[in-house]
């Protein structure tokens, strides 16, 4: 059974809305013959389009492995045999010592087993454009856990528990 998920549906919707607004403004600036404004709005449109596509990528989790597709084009396929680590990580890695704030949580699929330092470095360079990851939810973890028979690693997740029946 294959399950499909958008990487981050809300961020995709927000960035898509901003992209459309910027496209309209670019068109207005073309109509007003304002070349510098056209260039500025065009650059901003392209930046937000990239953010929209990044967050709107489709992650497919199936028996064969995990696939990342953008606009229906498969960009990355990871068979389960090549995945060494599946984990949940919080993006807020630079914080005060006693803070439980973890930032946005993401579920990731990695081709190597990582140390704590490597996970920290991975999150400092987030997002990875050709990697399979998606926004965390218990539903998404359950879909992955049905196909992943090893422990799901957690890093910088505060007091999060993955729930009954899930390996943590």
Q: Are 71 and 58 in contact (CB under 8 A)?
A: no
Q: Is the pLDDT of residue 164 over 60?
A: no
State the average pLDDT for the chain. 89
Provide mean pLDDT across the span 101-108.
87
Q: Which residues are CB-contacts of 39 (< 8 A; sequence separation ≥ 6)?
A: none
Question: Rounded to two decimals, what is the model's pTM?
Answer: 0.84
Within a 13 Å sphere around the CA of 77, how many CA atoms are in the beta-carbon half? 7
Give the H/E segment covering residue 51. helix 35-55
Provide mean pLDDT across the span 16-24.
97
Percentages (nearest 5) of helix, strand, coil residues in the chain: 40, 25, 40
Burial of 124 (0-12, 13-18, 19+ CB in 10 A): exposed
21 vs 163 pLDDT, higher one: 21
Each residue's pLDDT tens digit, 64-100:
999 999 999 999 999 999 999 999 998 887 766 666 7
Q: How confident is the model at residue 163 (pLDDT cuts 50, 70, 90)?
A: low
Q: Is the pLDDT of residue 117 over 70?
A: yes
Res 52: pLDDT: 97
Tell me which residue has tokens 């856990």: 145
Eight-state DSSP code of residue 86: E
Res 165: pLDDT: 44
26 vs 100 pLDDT, higher one: 26
- What DSSP assignment string belongs to 120-168? HHHHHTPPPTTS-EEE--HHHHHHHHTT--SPPEEES-TT----TTS--
């Amino acid at each position: 059974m294959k399950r499909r998920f958008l990487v981050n549906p809300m961020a995709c919707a927000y960035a898509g809305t901003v992209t459309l607004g910027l496209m309209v403004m670019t068109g207005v600036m073309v109509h007003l013959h304002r070349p510098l404004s056209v260039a500025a709005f065009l650059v901003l449109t392209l930046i937000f389009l990239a953010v929209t596509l990044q967050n709107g990528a489709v992650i497919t989790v199936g028996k064969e492995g995990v696939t990342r597709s953008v606009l229906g084009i498969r960009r990355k396929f990871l068979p389960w045999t090549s995945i060494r680590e599946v984990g949940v990580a919080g993006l807020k890695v630079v914080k005060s010592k006693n803070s439980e704030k973890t930032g946005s949580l993401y579920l990731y699929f990695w081709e190597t087993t990582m140390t704590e330092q490597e996970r920290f470095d991975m999150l400092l360079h987030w997002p990875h454009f050709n990697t399979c990851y998606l926004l965390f939810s218990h539903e998404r973890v359950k879909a992955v856990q049905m196909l992943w028979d090893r422990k799901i690693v957690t890093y910088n997740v505060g007091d999060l528990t993955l729930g009954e029946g899930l390996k943590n």
